[in-house]
Amino acid sequence: MTKVKYSYNPKTLRYERARFAWGTWTLRALGLLMVSTAFFYGLVLLQNHIFETEKEKILRAENEAFRRHHGIVQNDLQKAQIQLAALSEKDKAIYKRIFLYDKPDSGALQDETKELLHADLSDFKTIIDGLKEKSNKAQQKAMITSAHFAKLFWPGKEDVSDLLYYPTQIPVKNFTPSQLACGFGEHINPFHKLLYRHKGIDIAAEKGSEVVAAGSGRVVSIVNQSTPFGMGNYVEIEHAKGFRTRYAHLAEIKVSHGQKLKQGQVIGTVGMSGSAIAPHLHYEISKNNESVDPLYFFAEQLNERDWLGLIESNKKIKQALD
């Protein structure tokens, strides 16, 4: 049988049956719960920051090593990307010079770089080994390709005389890269100020400067024009393998139609005949009647730095001089 409890009520001065204090017990329970929770989280914090398991120590050391070396690897990759980009530009330029059309691009390198930078530490070595293997295969392929290329294109003694018939000489003497006033491709017309296809390059030079034949060949066209329109006075020379060169806006022409020329022979002087707005030589190269960028034929007479600078300058849209 449950015992009944009584408590003295000072207001009524009587002993009354005791009632259960729900509010008091609820507050006590909440207080106990809060103390227990705080105690639990305190233990967890102590466990995480003071006590470490062996596995946690290993993971912490690996993370620290990864953070320390991530910046080094990223810096090395950026340097490698710059070098590979420069090599890629050289490769494209050589490819276009030989085959006369652009080499297809490949975006694989950027994807592999992202994969390496975001890889887990456990996968890092695997990716590095894979890149090394690809690099070795690429080098082997390059050596094989180089050997085949040499067999197909490297000239023999019997071919040396024919090389002079290719337009590989710069048509003005003592040329410097700063003389490139306007390149090949889309540029601004000096008269209507709209973009148009510039089929050659404009080489700024003093009036009267000598213009020479870019390669041995035969004069197939001479035009003397006194009106201020078109290309003014110009000479066309036919070379080997379908190549032709044109030298426009000349002040004076020193060759005759049908004359056979040797590479480097003077054919005229720089002027501003025709529609030229300043003294310069407008120089064109075509192969089988299709225009070709003359700058790709300048590599033989320029050092690597100057030639790459010309190629980069050629990409900028400028105003032509004719």
Q: Rounded to 5, what percent of the chain is helix, strand, coil?
A: 45, 20, 35
Mean pLDDT across 291-313: 85
Q: Are residues 211 and 271 in the same domain?
A: yes
Check residue 125 and give its pLDDT: 63
Cα angle, residue 199 at apex, residues 198 and 202 outer, rounded to 5°: 70
Check residue 180 and give its pLDDT: 93
Query: Domain containing 115: what range?
Result: 54-153
Higher pLDDT, 125 or 179: 179
The answer to whether residues 257 and 240 touch, using CB atoms and an 8 Å cutoff, is no
Strand-strand pairing, 233-238 and 243-253: antiparallel
Q: Tell me if 167 is assigned to some domain.
A: no
Q: Tell me if 24 is assigned to some domain.
A: no
- What pLDDT digit, counting tens, does each position of 120-174 carry? 555 666 666 666 676 666 666 666 656 655 555 555 665 666 667 889 899 998 8
Q: Is residue 63 scored above 70 in pLDDT?
A: yes
Q: What is the CATH number of the domain that holds 298?
A: 2.70.70.10
Q: Are residues 139 and 184 in the same domain?
A: no
User: Looking at the 3D structure of the chain, how many domains does it have?
Assistant: 2
Higher pLDDT, 245 or 59: 245
Q: Tell me if 126 is assigned to some domain.
A: yes
Q: Is residue 252 scored above 70 in pLDDT?
A: yes
Q: Are residues 202 and 236 in the same domain?
A: yes
Q: Are residues 144 and 185 in the same domain?
A: no
- What pLDDT digit, counting tens, does each position of 67-122 carry? 777 677 677 777 777 777 777 777 776 666 555 556 655 544 455 555 555 555 55
Q: Are residues 220 and 307 in the same domain?
A: yes
**CA separation for the pair 54, 31 (Å, rounded):** 37
